[in-house]
Amino acid sequence: LPEWVFDKVFCPPVETDPITGESKVAQVGLRRVESALLQGYKRDEVFIANPEMLEKSIGPDTKVVGINVMDPLGMAPVTTTMSPEKLSYVAMKFKKMCANIIQLKKKYDFHVVVGGNGAWELAKSD
């Protein structure tokens, strides 16, 4: 399956502010975290960014970048069934995003927090 087909069919772009990179839609879990953070922070201090536009969203005022993951390394049963012998698209996209975040972290020195249903994949010892 070509990557562009995967992107169009399974990962269509979400509506995003072209200037700031803020996502107009997000998973309910992220919106709940956002809501909790807004209890103690101002609206302009809390942000759900499109992962493909992080350069527009992260800057010198960024203190923490939170990442929500569902299947970051492609270890979920459905993913391993569909891509048993090669790096899955979801793992490839996650690694690409992480490489981007590493470069931005070197530039802006923020903290990174990861959570979500697939966080267990990153906690494995091997």
The pLDDT tens digits of the residues spanning 69-86 come to: 988 888 887 776 666 667
pTM: 0.84
- The reported pLDDT for the residue numbered 96 is 94
Helices 3-10 and 89-108: crossing angle in degrees, nearest 10, is 90
Task: Work out the average pLDDT over 44-53.
Answer: 94
pLDDT of residue 83: 67
Q: Tell me if 22 sits within 8 A of 48, measured CB to CB.
A: yes
CB-based burial label for 47 (10 Å; 0-12, 13-18, 19+): middle
Tokens describing residue 41: 């922070």
Q: Could you report the per-residue pLDDT of 72-122, keeping only the tens digit for each?
A: 888 887 776 666 667 888 888 999 999 999 999 999 999 999 999 999 999
In what helix (H) or strand (E) does residue 115 lie, and over which residues does it extend? strand 111-115
